[in-house]
Amino acid sequence: MISVLIGQDVKIVQILPNESHLGADYTLVIMDIIVETADGSVVNVEVQKIGYNFPGERAACYNADLLLRQYQRIRKEYSESDTLEKSGKSGEKKVKFSYKYIRPVYTIVFMETSTEDFQRFPEDYVHTFCPVSDTGLKLNLLQNYIFVPLDIFRKHLDAVLYLPDDCLITEREAWLAFLSSDDPKIILRILDQFPGIFRPLYDRICTMCRNTKEMIYMFSEELSILDKNTVMMMIEEQQETIEQQKKELLQKEEAIEQQKKELSQKEEAIEHQKQELSQKEEAIEHQKQELSQKEEAIEHQKQELSQKEETIDMQKQEIELLLKELAEARK
């Protein structure tokens, strides 16, 4: 199955311990296994009963954790054993750690019920992600992701039932059908086309089904997982509701703060207008005072002019009197 999804021949050499500290006690995951392939690549296969929210962000964190743990493991192997690797010539040379020993990591996620992100692509049931340069430059960036929404695949599988018996299904379709369907028609078609691969697997399943005690145990485990899934889902929904309420409350507080700010600005504008009006009134009052002072000065000047005119008139009279007396004296 991994070979079909990755697109290259894969041979599993060992199952690695899952030492990740990521994740909570309650989980939507019903299977999580990490394997190492013959070329050293590490593959994390995860089956989710209900798809997690933020699947990309979550997968990126787990993939990065997987890559880091591989790096630490390989670095430790070289540093502790101080490994000597035969060079093909006589003698031996010390092999030092190098990044070239770090192999690709794959995160493969199967979802029995996928999230809204995948529902937007109803025709696609295998989504492969790997870093690609926008210039064509090729670098081995190691991290790869494959998401398989089985609920979308099952809709595709419904159409397969109506195909003629001589229409072949692909090996990838067969593996995904093996994981997601118990329809007898589908099983017979898979066994007819790929007996060597799937007959031993279905025989194993039949043997397990005959073991009543083991089936009851598996059913109990499934119920326990469903309970945990339900609890987790309810917690996530409540958390989303709380987060939404917090967001709405924050928006309201921001709106109130904005209104307060606008009100303060309006009050400041009114106060500024009052100050300008007061300054204008003071200026008018000052102009009135200056005008009054000028009028008083003019009135004072008029009085002085009147007094000077009276003085001139008196001086004229005195001159005329003197002239008259002088004229009489000459006679």
203 is a domain residue: no
Region 73-98: mean pLDDT is 65
How far apart (Å, rounded) are the C-alpha atoms in residues 331 and 329? 5
170 is a domain residue: no
- How many structural domains comprise the chain? 1
- Tokens coding 238: 């409540």
Residue 92 has pLDDT above 50, yes or no: yes
162 phi and psi angles, rounded to 5 deg: -95, 0
Res 226: pLDDT? 59
Calculate the CA dihedral of residues 38, 65, 130, 155 and round it to 10 degrees: 90
Mean pLDDT rounded to a whole number for the chain: 83
Domain range spanning residue 21? 2-84+94-160
123 is a domain residue: yes
Alpha-helix runs per DSSP H in 82-147: 116-119
48 is a domain residue: yes
Region 24-51: mean pLDDT is 77
Tell me if residue 137 falls in helix, strand or coil. coil
121 is a domain residue: yes
Query: Residue 148, CB half-sphere, CA atoms under 13 Å: how many?
Result: 25
Region 20-30: mean pLDDT is 55
pLDDT in tens, 189-222: 888 888 898 888 888 888 877 776 665 665 566 6
Res 87: pLDDT? 47
100 is a domain residue: yes
296 is a domain residue: no
Q: At what angle do helices 184-193 and 150-160 cross, to 10 degrees?
A: 80
322 is a domain residue: no
91: left (phi over 0), alpha (psi -120 to 50) or beta: left
How far apart (Å, rounded) are the C-alpha atoms in residues 156 and 30? 23
pLDDT in tens, 135-171: 989 999 999 999 999 999 998 887 776 666 666 788 8
